[in-house]
Amino acid sequence: MNFNTKILCIGAGYVGGPTMTVIADKCPQVKVTVVDINQSRIDAWNSDKLPIFEPGLDEVVHRARGRNLFFSTDVALAIKDADIIFVSVNTPTKTFGQGAGKASDLQYWEKTARQILEVSTSDKIIVEKSTLPVRTAAAMERILNSNDKGLHFEVLSNPEFLAEGTAIQDLFAPDRVLIGSHQTPSGIAACEKVVGIYANWVPRERILTTNLWSSELTKLTANAFLAQRITSINSISALCERTGADVDEVAYVMGKDSRIGPKFLKSSIGFGGSCFKKDILNLVYLCEHYGLPQVAAYWESVVNINEWQTHRFVARMLEHMFNTIAGKRIAVFGFAFKADTGDTRESPAHLVVRDLLEERAHPIVTDPKAISEAKRDLKDVLDKVVFEEDPYKASENAHAVVVCTEWKQFAALDWKRIYDSMEKPAFVFDGRNILNVVELRKIGFEVVSVGKGMAET
Ligand SMILES: NC(=O)c1ccc[n+]([C@@H]2O[C@H](COP(=O)([O-])OP(=O)(O)OC[C@H]3O[C@@H](n4cnc5c(N)ncnc54)[C@H](O)[C@@H]3O)[C@@H](O)[C@H]2O)c1
């Protein structure tokens, strides 16, 4: 098969895998190769058991894999062969040195840039798919264009806005695609090439082009705004609990205001995921770096309130359970950071389990997709936590169930059966407000929800 363009993506994770799969599916004339240094991840992409769970992903991978979609660990060969290279490696928060705890750790990104420089034998377009601090492209260009081979590398920014759990849907019908480039003839030409790829399925008016720095900053800002909305409603949930207001009612009515809108107003035990916290902290670091401590403090408070919300929820559990949970079995329903994913990075369930252990409770973790990830995250306390696939078994003889992930399955369980097998009084702490409280109370449960004071009863 003669392909008209060869795309490479470096990094076969939650972003690289699904985005490239959809590009391959929608552009059969383009050869798409995804590489990673992690052999077992690539083996899984080439197998029937993909390395990540994402609704609809299997079907699309099966359609494109072997036709124009390839997964490999031969990074050097794939770089040589590519016209356009998307870089989708991880950019976690730095854990050492200057900026530790806030700045992005760019070592994976820089290693990639140096490898591209080392093995390339032709001009290439390099696309930042990872979320990066604003002005990273300038540093990358300096590395890449420091070559004496006479090669030109044009760096673009094309941040990814997909949400885990709905990645395939988001990629098939994105609200917008953003491509940032230098406003020079070569920058604009490179940008048009990448626009041309997305234009195979995304309406042209949804493909937005900006300068490089706007594009890089937009991604950080978009995540900060989304997280801030969750934190705003969560902060109000605390006031609801004290006053007898119901946070779901408040959010529903507020959301009817078209200036506010209904989305991202669901109160919970807090947001998780690999991106929100990391990207806000990165924004905080940038603001500090550019001499804006007030702006930095504003955004940092979003992360602080989020963690407080999770600890606060466990403190309420303790209060309701007669101020002691030592020795009590507590079934933790859900360990993934949200429903429809097996991803547990920064999951509030993790904090909940740690807080329960601190109180010497016995947590039993159940999750439809994330048991192995939970075991990995809790590997230092495996002797203190039980993992159980079946939520009915997890709740047997438990004093309480705490819902940490909004899996639909949990709402559909036979709660009478669960009640009958539990210690009494049987408590349910609904950290996602997904359960039918009236029904549960009829069965006999003591139910505690987020943002609902006892005055609700
Ligand atoms: N997960 C999301 O929902 C999401 C959404 C939008 C943007 N992002 C951003 O996308 C980027 C990737 O996120 P992710 O969740 O896919 O991360 P991930 O950790 O799942 O995947 C990154 C992959 O890159 C590989 N890698 C690292 N260095 C490499 C190298 N030198 N050569 C080849 N492979 C290398 C790693 O082995 C890993 O498999 C991050 O910057 C993240 O902030 C993530």
Give per-residue pLDDT as tens, 392-444.
999 999 999 999 999 999 999 999 999 999 999 999 999 999 999 999 999 99
Q: Which amino acid is at 34?
A: V
Question: In angstroms, rounded to a whole number, what is the distance separating the alpha carbons of residues 345 and 164?
Answer: 11
Confidence of residue 454 (pLDDT cuts 50, 70, 90): low
What is the torsion angle, in degrees rounded to the nearest 10, for the CA atoms of residue 152, residue 158, residue 159 and residue 164? -120
Confidence of residue 302 (pLDDT cuts 50, 70, 90): very high
- Summary mean pLDDT of the chain: 96
- Cα(294) to ligand 1 centroid in Å equals 31
Protein residue closest via CA to atom 37 of ligand 1: 38
Work out which ligand 1 atom sits closest to the CA atom of 275.
Answer: 43
Q: Which amino acid is at 151?
A: L
Report the share of the chain in percent with pLDDT over 90. 97
Nearest CA-CA partner of 209 in 220, 222, 196: 196
pLDDT of residue 456: 46
Question: In angstroms, rounded to a whole number, what is the distance separating the alpha carbons of residues 410 and 333?
Answer: 8
Question: How many CB atoms are located within 10 Å of the residue 450 CB?
Answer: 27
Protein residue closest via CA to atom 4 of ligand 1: 15
Model confidence over 56-83: pLDDT tens digits? 999 999 999 999 999 999 999 999 999 9
The residue from 27, 275, 287, 404 that is catalytic is 275
Residue 114 CB less than 6 A away from ligand 1: no
Which of 9, 15, 158 to mutate for ligand 1's pocket (most ligand atoms within 8 Å of CB)? Answer: 15
Q: Where are the alpha helices (DSSP H) in 321-425?
A: 348-358, 371-377, 391-395, 408-411, 415-421
Model confidence over 245-280: pLDDT tens digits? 999 999 999 999 999 999 999 999 999 999 999 999
Nearest CA-CA partner of 277 in 104, 128, 98: 104
Task: Bin 151: left if φ > 0, else alpha if -120 < ψ < 50, else beta.
Answer: beta
Protein residue closest via CA to atom 27 of ligand 1: 89
Residue 447 CB less than 6 A away from ligand 1: no
Question: In angstroms, rounded to a whole number, what is the distance separating the alpha carbons of residues 421 and 138?
Answer: 61
Instruction: Produce one character per residue of 146-175: b if its CB has 16 or more CB atoms within 10 Å, e if not.
Output: eeeeeeebbbbbbbbbbebbbbbebbeebe
Confidence of residue 147 (pLDDT cuts 50, 70, 90): confident
Scan for tokens 């042209």, then name that residue.
204
The whole-number average pLDDT for the span 316-339 is 98
Question: In angstroms, rounded to a whole number, what is the distance separating the alpha carbons of residues 426 and 405?
Answer: 20
Sign of the C-alpha dihedral, residues 427, 429, 435, 441? Answer: positive
pLDDT of residue 127: 98
Q: Is 191 a catalytic residue?
A: no
Q: Where are the alpha helices (DSSP H) in 359-443?
A: 371-377, 391-395, 408-411, 415-421, 437-443
pLDDT of residue 238: 98
Beta strands 329-333 and 207-211, pairing class: unpaired
The whole-number average pLDDT for the span 181-206 is 98
Which of 88, 161, 219 to mutate for ligand 1's pocket (most ligand atoms within 8 Å of CB)? Answer: 88
The whole-number average pLDDT for the span 104-125 is 95
Question: In angstroms, rounded to a whole number, what is the distance separating the alpha carbons of residues 69 and 79?
Answer: 15
With a CB cutoff of 8 Å and minimum separation 6, the contacts of 118 are none
Question: In angstroms, rounded to a whole number, what is the distance separating the alpha carbons of residues 171 and 201?
Answer: 10
The whole-number average pLDDT for the span 292-304 is 98
**Residue 414 in tokens:** 């036979």
Q: Where are the alpha helices (DSSP H) in 13-154?
A: 16-26, 39-45, 57-64, 75-81, 107-119, 136-144
Backbone angles phi, psi at 110, to 5 degrees: -65, -40
Which of 90, 157, 161, 221 to mutate for ligand 1's pocket (most ligand atoms within 8 Å of CB)? Answer: 90
Nearest CA-CA partner of 336 in 284, 280, 376: 376
**Residue 415 in tokens:** 């709660």
Could you tell me the pTM of the whole model? 0.95
pLDDT of residue 79: 98
